[in-house]
Structure 1
Amino acid sequence: MFVLTIDQRGSRRHGDRVDHLLAELADHHERTGRRPLRGFERTVGDEVQGVYDDPDAVVDLALHVLRVGGWTVGIGAGPVDEPLPDSPRAGSGPAFVLARTAVESAKSRSRTVPLAVRGRDDGAGRDAEAVLVLVAAVASRRSEAGWAVADAMSADDLRQEDLADRMGVSQQAVSQRLRTALWAEERAARPAAARLLAWAQGSGEDRPARA
Structure 2
Amino acid sequence: MDEMNPRASLVVLIGDIVDSRISGDRRAVHDAVVAALEGVEALVPSVRGLRITVGDEFQGAYTSLGAALDAALRVRLALSPDVDVRIGVGRGVVTVLDAERGIEDGPGWWAARAAIEHVEAAAERAPTRTLRTGYRAEGRRGSEVDAVNAALLCRDHLVGSLSDRSTRLLRGLMDPRTTQAELAEREGVSASAVSQRVRADGIGAVLAAHELLRGLP
TM-score normalized with structure 1 length: 0.73
Across the aligned residues of Structure 1 and Structure 2, the Cα RMSD in angstroms comes to 3.2
Task: Identify the residue that residue 201 of structure 2 maps to in structure 1.
Answer: 181
8 Å CA contact 1:18, 1:47 repeated in 2: no
Secondary structure of 1:117's counterpart equals strand
Task: Identify the residue that residue 50 of structure 1 maps to in structure 2.
Answer: 60
CA separation of 1:10 and 1:135: change in aligned 2, threshold 3 A: closer
Q: Distance in 2 between matches of 1:165 and 1:45?
A: 38
Give unpaired runs (5+ residues) of structure 1.
Answer: 199-211
Secondary structure of 1:46's counterpart equals coil
Superposition pairs of residues 151-166 of structure 1, within 5 angstroms: 151-158=171-178, 160=180
**Post-superposition shift, 1:126?**
2.8
Task: Identify the residue that residue 158 of structure 2 maps to in structure 1.
Answer: 138
**Post-superposition shift, 1:171?**
4.3
Task: Identify the residue that residue 134 of structure 2 maps to in structure 1.
Answer: 116
8 Å CA contact 1:145, 1:177 repeated in 2: no
Superposition pairs of residues 50-89 of structure 1, within 5 angstroms: 50-67=60-77, 68=79, 69-81=83-95, 85=99, 88=102
8 Å CA contact 2:16, 2:85 repeated in 1: yes
Q: Distance in 1 between matches of 2:112 and 2:55?
A: 16
- Superposition misfits of 4+ residues, deviation over 6 angstroms: 165-168
Task: Identify the residue that residue 7 of structure 2 maps to in structure 1.
Answer: none
Percentage identity across paired residues of the two chains:
27
Matched, 1:101 2:106: no
Q: Aligned letter for 1:129? A: N
Give unpaired runs (5+ residues) of structure 2.
Answer: 1-9
Looking at secondary structure, tell me which structure has more strand per residue. Answer: 2
Q: Distance in 1 between matches of 2:186 and 2:76?
A: 28
Q: Aligned letter for 1:126? A: D
8 Å CA contact 2:89, 2:112 repeated in 1: yes
8 Å CA contact 2:132, 2:156 repeated in 1: no
8 Å CA contact 1:59, 1:132 repeated in 2: no
Deviates more, 1:115-124 or 1:61-70: 61-70
Secondary structure of 2:58's counterpart equals strand
Match of 1:190 among 210, 213, 216: 210
Q: Aligned letter for 1:23? A: A
